[in-house]
Amino acid sequence: MNKPAEVIIYVVSDAAGDTGELVVRAAVAQFHPVQAEIRRAPFVTDEGTLERFVLHAKQCGAIVMYTLVIPHLREAMKRLAAEEDVVAIDLLGPLIESLEQRTGRQSRQEPGLNHVLDEDYFKKVDAVEFAVRYDDAKDPSGVLKADIVLVGVSRTSKTPLSMYLAHQKYKVANIPLVPEIKPPQELFTLPKHKIIGLTIGVPYLNIIRKERLKALGLPDSALYAATDRIEQELQYAESIMKRLGCVVYDVSYRAVEETASLIMEHVRSVRPEL
């Protein structure tokens, strides 16, 4: 059985709620291994809907994070949270008000402006589609077209990192390293600066794999989570990474966002045009 959430956080927005969720995940990562359940309440346009989510939050003792750009909704949220004694954090309001004061201009008060259909938006969509198409070596030819290629054993966050980096407009392919399967030959034709190796500590990977097996309804004694097997896989992966000559990051106890930041910093240092 999965461990119940230790904290529930509602992300309330008059747009999609992406900004609020990213901030919440960044904050929660500082409390690993705390279990947090994030519940989105997107595209809220009226006070009645706000009241419903505030009452839900009160019933389950949740924290509310809100990104509301429409002033009357922000004020309504502030009032409702105070009336119901719910902890509610305004992520955008103070900054919008400060910018209005500093610039002498009123904000546009239009939700979702950071999702306009501009060139950057379509680049992001292309990158996300690329990450899905070339995930987990589905098509090895993807490594030749990618900006970044991630390699590592199972459960080193290759897929979540691919998707996170895709939202930063990087085209990412990822290749699992398994002792019984030869990596695609295309991988060894790439310049080393395009490849990122991911490694992880044996005890940490053991815990992650056991939890994964439990989630699948399988016994955690399976070979997949055995210490000897994990050590064998990591040694094999290390030998491949040495052949590739790529940079390697340890993802143990690192949030996806933190590892992604390291990867992007490396990529920009060797390929500033990306």
Question: Any idea what the CATH number is for the domain that residue 59 is in?
Answer: 3.40.50
In the prediction, which pLDDT does 222 show? 93
Q: Identify the bridge partners of residue 244 per DSSP, sorted by sequence position.
A: none
Q: Which of 115, 135, 155 is the last residue of a domain?
A: 115
- Per-residue confidence (pLDDT) for residue 116, from 0 to 100: 56
Give yes or no: residues 161 and 26 share one domain. Answer: no
36, 82 in Cβ contact below 8 A?
no
CB 214, CB 223: distance < 8 Å: no
Boundary of a domain, candidates 115, 135, 168: 115
Whether residue 49 contacts residue 101, with contact meaning beta carbons closer than 8 Å, is answered with no
Name residue 65's beta-bridge partners: 11, 89
Counted domains in the chain: 2
Q: Verify that 26 and 101 share a domain, yes or no.
A: yes
Q: Specify whether 102 is located in the same domain as 149.
A: no
Has residue 2 been placed in a domain?
no
Residue type, 204: Y
Side-chain-facing half-sphere of 168: CA atoms under 13 Å = 19
Rg (CA), the chain: 22
256 and 141 housed in the same domain: yes
In a domain, 197, yes or no: yes
| Structural domain of 69 | 7-115
The residue assigned the tokens 């290629």 is 149
Query: Interhelix angle for 256-270 vs 18-28, to 10°?
Result: 100
- The pair of three-digit structure tokens given for residue 210, joined into one six-digit string: 């056991």
Residues of the chain with pLDDT under 50: 1
Q: Tell me how far apart the alpha carbons of residues 84 and 62 are, in angstroms, rounded to a whole number.
A: 12
In a domain, 129, yes or no: yes
Q: What is the pTM of this model?
A: 0.66
Please list, in sequence order, all residues whose beta carbon lies within 8 angstroms of the beta carbon of residue 101, skipping any fewer than 6 positions away.
Answer: none
| Pair 40, 67: CB distance under 8 Å | no
* Residue keyed to tokens 């839900």: 56
Tens of pLDDT, residues 143-199 = 999 999 999 999 999 999 999 999 899 999 999 999 999 999 999 999 999 999 999
